[in-house]
Structure 1
Amino acid sequence: MIELKKIHIGKLIKLRVDESDIDILRICNFFNKTEVEITSMYLYEHLNTDDLLKWSKLLKYDFFRIYSQHLIFYSPQSSSINNINTKLPRFRKNIYTKEIIDFIVGKIVKGEKSKEQVIKDYRIPKTTVYKWLTKYR
């Protein structure tokens, strides 16, 4: 499982490149960069969003979701945020991936958080938490 507390995006991209078995020349052509520039990207802990979007498209993997999961795990939304007037889009639901479900169920099973704490802290509906506990425990 990927460590989401400290994200090193270059390492994760390199891992996906290795899994995808994509030729370095194809990557270089896609980015219009040299092989040295591409391989140095694997060393970067952070990348600009344009490059990250290109990697996501090339490797057919949503690297942005890693950051979304980090926010859900380590910075749950405050309920007061819903009262702020904004022109930015509001997301009605969090993205519940397998990693998020495992994380939440693990917290409850290990006794680190109660069901009520999870419901309150992560704003997950009560029925959803109980379904996860039944299905994934």
Structure 2
Amino acid sequence: MSIIYKNIHIGNLIEKRVSECNIKVSRICNFFDCIEKDIEEMYKQKDMNTGILLKWSKLLKYDFFRIYTQHLVLFSPPFSPDNKDSNQKSELPQFRKNIYTKVMIDFILELISTEQKTIRQVIDEYKIPKTTLYKWISKYKKIDNT
């Protein structure tokens, strides 16, 4: 499934996962201690409280937070060493932005192979280095042909 990471509607994605898992609404209501109408309202939500999203992730055994992480990888500005705040220490965990998952690589390569985007568009829009993109194309094209 090609998720458009730019426009996330988390309620729709949760509803799809519930359908895939064939979970009865009575079980969901019991898990959330709510009524069916409340669940239907959650399906309509574009955004969701993180505590509720965590519960959905556990119930459906799917990391919905990763969808947002992939969005950040694709759409947040690259780290700039010139950033004035970069010298400040933080007690929060630090993550490297430039780690691309196989799902992300497949998503990008699918955009190129289906001609939805050109290589130049991918480089410009997603800020993926040209050499990285060509390495992916070379590496995964060989795998696909075997």
Q: Shorter-chain-normalised TM-score: which range?
A: 0.7 to 0.9
Q: Displacement, 1:135?
A: 2.4
SS in 1 for 2:7: coil
* Corresponding residue of 2:104: 100
- Paired residues in the alignment total 133
SS in 1 for 2:120: coil
* Corresponding residue of 2:120: 112
* Corresponding residue of 1:87: 91
- Give the letter aligned to residue 136 of structure 1: Y
Give the TM-score taking structure 1 as reference length: 0.79
Q: Distance in 1 between matches of 2:101 and 2:57?
A: 17
Q: Percent identity?
A: 50
Q: CA RMSD in A?
A: 2.9
The answer (yes or no) to whether the contact 2:5–2:67 under 8 Å persists in 1 is: yes
The answer (yes or no) to whether the contact 2:108–2:122 under 8 Å persists in 1 is: no
Q: Displacement, 1:8?
A: 0.5
SS in 2 for 1:45: coil
Where does the alignment leave 5 or more consecutive residues of structure 1 unmatched? Answer: none
Give the TM-score taking structure 2 as reference length: 0.75
Alignment of 1:51-62 (within 5 A): 51-62=52-63
